[in-house]
Structure 1
């Protein structure tokens, strides 16, 4: 029997998800959490096979719940649910080590398939999201084929994409914060980007970080 945890602060959403899950005789909803702190406590106690976690929850959001589950080395696979189709959220989710991402509007038709994939330890993203990533990739590749970062710039970009601050990047690379800022600004100028989110997406495309 596969155990599934549902974490969402809306009772109607939890009920709907439970109804879909319970159509499978070999799956059971072994717990429901109404906020991020409850989700972590139940995950630690039950060690479910799957945790279906709403991205936007009080106390601790779904992204932080996912990070905690990973840091505690639980074997639980996380499926993030969100109402918003956001590149930034998807990037954050991937960097947190989450391999399942589903829009709430798609849950009725895709939840079973998503849970099955994660139970087999396969990633799951709907085709709409994959198409969006591909579009962004092609768009950002345009006129950038000749961009070359120095090895130090690549190292700085990688660490920033992994979530390090300028200060912690400096500690890892034995550089001053000012030097890190200089390399970061140089890399962003070469790539023609202006935000950390874009820098993270570049790092994913360039395979500077593992998903």
Structure 2
């Protein structure tokens, strides 16, 4: 039996799904929740095989609930079941750790198949959703992390790459040491690196040192 937890803020959706799965031989609904907060509690308490998670809910949305569950229970298998297909919803949910993403326009049989595949270790992603994710990946490839830097941050990167200390950067750019430290912190975050040495390495690797 595949034990299911249904998390959705629409009572009719929960009722419809629960009714459908109750007549399937290989499914058992072990719980229902009307928001992400309740869903997190039930998920961690019951440890179901599969969690069907809505995205837009009051109290706590599906992306945040997915994040919390995956942090507490990394083995959880969560399938996002939603009406939303835009990349602002898809990408954060999948990044949070969801194993699948299927639309509510799917038939009950298609949802059941997605659950079975996910239960057996596969990632089930609706074709339309898969297209969006691929477009997102391609977009990321076309852009570089350093494209996010401001002109001033670029100047700071240049000086870091040349071996300047924070105080020397402050003197060179006629700004305070505190401002330099703020710029460096922002640079580390934007370039996704941990220290000044990695900033310099990044700058040379991407040929952005003048």
Alignment TM-score, normalising by the size of structure 1: 0.66
**SS, match of residue 56 in structure 2:** coil
1:139 deviation in Å?
6.4
8 Å CA contact retained: 2:49, 2:119? yes
After superposition, give the CA deviation of every residue in 1:135-167 in whole Å (9 maximum; x if it has no partner).
Answer: 4555676xx4xx7767xx9xxxxxxxxxxxxxx
Give the direction of change, closer, same or farther, for the CA distance of 1:25–1:178 in structure 2 (3 Å limit).
same
Aligned match of 1:181:
186
Distance 1:8 1:148 in 2: 38
Distance 2:91 2:144 in 1: 23
Aligned match of 1:52:
52
Aligned match of 2:125:
125
Q: Give the count of matched residue pairs.
A: 160
After superposition, give the CA deviation of every residue in 1:114-139 in whole Å (9 maximum; x if it has no partner).
Answer: 10121012111111222233345556
Structure 2 residues not aligned, in runs of 5+:
150-179, 193-210
Aligned match of 2:25:
25
Aligned match of 1:65:
65
1:188-207 correspondence to structure 2 within 5 Å: none
1:22 deviation in Å?
2.7
Q: Runs of 4+ in structure 1 displaced over 4 angstroms?
A: 135-141, 147-150, 182-187
1:39 correspondence with 2:39: yes
Distance 1:99 1:2 in 2: 16
Distance 2:109 2:181 in 1: 51
After superposition, give the CA deviation of every residue in 1:37-89 in whole Å (9 maximum; x if it has no partner).
Answer: 21111112211001101101111111111111111125321111221111121
Aligned match of 2:13:
13
Aligned match of 2:79:
79
Aligned match of 2:99:
99
1:4 correspondence with 2:24: no
**RMSD of aligned Cα (Å):** 2.7
Alignment TM-score, normalising by the size of structure 2: 0.66
1:121-160 correspondence to structure 2 within 5 Å: 121-137=121-137, 144=142
Distance 2:145 2:67 in 1: 30
